[in-house]
């Protein structure tokens, strides 16, 4: 579930396993120390506030979260997500709606490849960081404070070539997921792509995203809320004590797993979806090398239970590119 591999070793291993194609790496924009300090200050001022304040973390966890937003997410998006997307279609001049742009790491990774990106998020503090990041990197992107279930009213049909749900579906309620997925599909141009990135799979046996507990995503919401006190995760286990409307919504939006069932409700049966690619099929042996024997066996079991559904629905997280027929 967790590992103790030092971060520098992880970064070297990632570069060896996931070399970035030169036509992509040549477009990657490098910034100086001054630029990095501007972004760091923006994160501290605009993002690490309220329940995310530094005082709510241990020193180690705060540094980890800060570095993730400062540079690690951008590195990961450049080395894994962008090459995967590029393998399915060029990003140059594509009209992309990025739902859940957060603090803008993924937005920069897409925009520097020539995509015309519109990023939306409900977190205005995160959007402030995203705007500062874009200015520092010198990329153009449009940002809107918007809930995902409002995209049709905001943009209309045939507005985008690619719609990306970037690590955000898990932070929506079920009605929000179904509405936004259905509208995203309707908004796509002919032969457009709907992309799901880094959404924890509720079918998986371990919740590595939110609670760091086994079977957590299998529990009914109220039981999961109450059971969160057993989580090893700081700034999580101590927050959810009284189960009422506001605390329940906050809990749900911290992250609950998703599976193919939402797509079946919003679009069509899973076996009829045109799965262009999943991260596991794109990476091939590299994906398997990063999985334990237990993880490989568990995924194989799920695939036997649902033999007519694409294997991308059975990893620990959903990374899928769906083509509109």
Task: Render 250-274 in DSSP notation, one character per residue.
Answer: HHHHH---B-HHHHHHHTS-GGGS-
- Please check whether residue 109 lies inside any domain of the structure: yes
pLDDT, residue 303, reads: 97
Domain total in the chain: 2
Residue 158 has pLDDT above 90, yes or no: no
Judgement on whether residues 174 and 217 belong to the same structural domain of the protein: no
Residues in the chain: 325
- Of the candidates 254, 269, 286, which is a domain's last residue? 254
CATH code for position 45:
3.40.50.150
Judgement on whether residues 187 and 218 belong to the same structural domain of the protein: no
CA dihedral 105, 183, 87, 10 (to 10 degrees): 40
The C-alpha atoms of residue 174 and residue 170 are separated, in whole angstroms, by: 9
pLDDT in tens, 294-310: 999 999 999 999 999 99
pLDDT, residue 6, reads: 72
Q: Which range has the worst mean pLDDT, 187-191, 202-206, 298-302?
A: 187-191
Give the residue among 316, 305, 91, 41 at the shortest CA–CA distance from 203: 316
pLDDT, residue 223, reads: 97
Judgement on whether residues 236 and 300 belong to the same structural domain of the protein: no
pLDDT, residue 10, reads: 67
Residue 313 has pLDDT above 80, yes or no: yes
- Please check whether residue 73 lies inside any domain of the structure: yes
The C-alpha atoms of residue 237 and residue 273 are separated, in whole angstroms, by: 37
- Please check whether residue 135 lies inside any domain of the structure: yes
Judgement on whether residues 123 and 237 belong to the same structural domain of the protein: no
Q: Which range has the worst mean pLDDT, 6-20, 25-39, 141-155, 262-276?
A: 6-20
Q: What are phi and psi of 226, to 5 degrees?
A: -70, -35
Judgement on whether residues 121 and 221 belong to the same structural domain of the protein: no
pLDDT in tens, 119-137: 999 999 999 999 999 999 9
Range of the domain at 131: 7-201+260-323
DSSP string, 93-158: T-EEEEET-TTSHHHHHHHTTT-EEEEEES-HHHHHHHHHHHHHHT--EEEEE--GGGHHHHH-TT
Judgement on whether residues 215 and 196 belong to the same structural domain of the protein: no
Q: Which residue has the tokens 């809930």?
A: 147
Q: Count the Cβ atoms, other than its own, within 10 Å of residue 307.
A: 7
pLDDT, residue 121, reads: 96
Judgement on whether residues 238 and 153 belong to the same structural domain of the protein: no
Residue 96 has pLDDT above 80, yes or no: yes
pLDDT in tens, 58-73: 899 999 999 999 999 9
Judgement on whether residues 185 and 282 belong to the same structural domain of the protein: yes
pLDDT, residue 159, reads: 85
Query: Cβ distance 324 to 274 under 8 Å?
Result: yes
- Please check whether residue 197 lies inside any domain of the structure: yes
pLDDT, residue 228, reads: 97
Judgement on whether residues 69 and 174 belong to the same structural domain of the protein: yes
Judgement on whether residues 225 and 166 belong to the same structural domain of the protein: no
Half-sphere exposure of 6 (CA within 13 A, CB side): 3
Write down the pTM of the prediction.
0.92
- Please check whether residue 271 lies inside any domain of the structure: yes
* Span 165-190, average pLDDT: 96
Judgement on whether residues 231 and 93 belong to the same structural domain of the protein: no
- Please check whether residue 157 lies inside any domain of the structure: yes
Higher pLDDT, 163 or 6: 163
pLDDT, residue 1, reads: 43
- Please check whether residue 1 lies inside any domain of the structure: no
The C-alpha atoms of residue 13 and residue 241 are separated, in whole angstroms, by: 41
- Please check whether residue 2 lies inside any domain of the structure: no
Judgement on whether residues 237 and 298 belong to the same structural domain of the protein: no
DSSP string, 198-251: EEEBTTSSEETTTT-EETGGGS-HHHHHHHGGG-S-TTTTTT--S-SHHHHHHH
pLDDT, residue 119, reads: 98
pLDDT, residue 2, reads: 44
The C-alpha atoms of residue 45 and residue 37 are separated, in whole angstroms, by: 12
pLDDT band at 17 (very low <50, low <70, confident <90, very high): confident
């Amino acid at each position: 579930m967790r590992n103790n591999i030092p971060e520098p070793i992880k970064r070297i291993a990632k570069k060896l396993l996931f070399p970035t194609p030169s036509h992509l790496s040549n477009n990657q924009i490098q910034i100086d120390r001054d630029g990095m300090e501007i972004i760091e200050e923006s994160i501290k001022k605009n993002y690490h506030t309220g329940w995310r304040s530094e005082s709510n973390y241990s020193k180690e966890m705060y540094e980890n979260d800060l570095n993730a937003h400062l540079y690690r997410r951008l590195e990961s998006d450049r080395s894994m997500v962008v090459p995967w997307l590029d393998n399915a279609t060029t990003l140059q001049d594509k009209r992309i709606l990025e739902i859940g742009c957060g603090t803008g790491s993924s937005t920069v990774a897409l925009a520097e490849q020539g995509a015309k990106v519109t990023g939306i998020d409900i977190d205005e503090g995160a959007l402030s960081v995203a705007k500062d990041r874009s200015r520092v990197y010198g990329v153009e992107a449009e940002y809107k404070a918007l809930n995902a279930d409002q995209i049709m009213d905001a943009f209309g049909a045939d507005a985008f070539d690619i719609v990306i749900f970037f690590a955000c579906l898990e932070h929506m309620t079920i009605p929000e997921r179904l509405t936004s997925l259905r509208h995203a599909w309707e908004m796509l141009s002919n032969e457009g792509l709907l992309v799901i990135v880094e959404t924890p799979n509720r079918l998986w046996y371990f919740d590595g995203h939110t609670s760091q507990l086994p079977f957590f995503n299998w529990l009914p919401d109220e039981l999961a809320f109450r059971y969160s006190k057993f989580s090893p995760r700081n700034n999580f286990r101590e927050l959810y004590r009284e189960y009422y409307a506001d605390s329940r919504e906050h809990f749900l939006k911290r992250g609950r797993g998703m599976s193919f069932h939402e797509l079946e409700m919003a679009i069509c049966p899973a076996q009829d979806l045109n799965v262009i690619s999943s991260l596991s099929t794109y990476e091939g042996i590299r994906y398997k090398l990063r999985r334990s024997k237990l993880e490989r066996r568990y995924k194989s079991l799920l695939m036997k239970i649902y033999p007519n559904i694409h294997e991308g629905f059975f990893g620990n997280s959903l990374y899928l590119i769906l083509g509109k027929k």
